[in-house]
Amino acid sequence: MAKLTAEELKHYRDNGYALYRKPLFSPEKQARLTAIFEEHLAEKGSKLSDELDTPHFRDPRLLEFLLSDEVLDLVEPITGPNIALWSSHFICKDPFVGRATPWHEDSAYWKNRLSRFDSIVTVWVAIDRAVKENGCMKVIPGTHVNGFSEYEEVDSRTNTFGRKIKQVDEEKAVYFELEPGECSLHDSRIIHGADPNLSPLRRCGYTMRYFATDVLVNRDDKINRGHRIWLARGRDIAGNVYEN
């Protein structure tokens, strides 16, 4: 059973992230996740490889992973026992041309969509090996308590987003180097990003995002009107509407 130790949980609360350096799923289950990703990659058409957002909306096979005890047992000590599935995303940086992910806070892109952001966690499971060379994730520890940062525009042709945080102390960056099947967890408010992939090695991960059910999803928000959420464990508290 996947669990953070007391020390790892304290590190998460103090720094806004934790690394789980063990296989999250069994080899067979990890192989199924990888095979599903390869299907989505082959069918993406004109989309860039880093644009495979909310794939579980169109492929219910992914709910086996998103609603699994392996993941929820990692998340529960952070969110508490009542957990909702917020979103998921295949993030793939192709060899040589994978775009940079500029410094950002996930919460800054969800303004007005949820009532608060202190109980939202992302589990990032590595499908490929993720190292500095191919653009693994990097974070600025402790920035999950800073509030929203100030942003400026960047070129979206070379970046996955069209804006970035203006001022970041990059000397403090911690790189999430992971083997396939290992995962990281990070707070929605932490400053994080990734360098471009200029290597011959593809870098793909699957992000699985969860929130405590005392967080309310704003159904009046235009983006949320088409957004689907699932009750992953426990019971609803805030009055959210879930998929059956």
Torsion angle of the four alpha carbons 107, 190, 102, 147, in this order, in degrees rounded to the nearest 10: 60
DSSP 3-state of 168: coil
Q: What is the pTM of this model?
A: 0.96
- pLDDT tens track, the chain, 244 positions: 678 999 999 999 999 999 999 999 999 999 999 999 999 999 988 777 877 899 999 999 999 999 999 999 999 999 999 999 999 999 999 999 999 999 999 999 999 999 999 999 999 999 999 999 999 999 999 999 999 999 999 998 899 989 999 999 999 999 999 999 999 999 999 999 999 999 999 999 999 999 999 999 999 999 999 999 999 999 999 999 999 8
Query: Which contiguous run of DSSP H or E holds residue 208?
Result: strand 203-212
Distance between CA atoms of residues 89 and 87, nearest Å: 7
Tokens representing 111?
């303004």
d(CA 93, CA 207): 14
The CATH code of the domain at 6-233 is 2.60.120.620
What whole-number distance in Å separates Cα of residue 66 and Cα of residue 229?
A: 11
**11 CB burial (10 A radius; 0-12, 13-18, 19+):** middle
Nearest to 196 by CA among 114, 105, 69, 93: 93
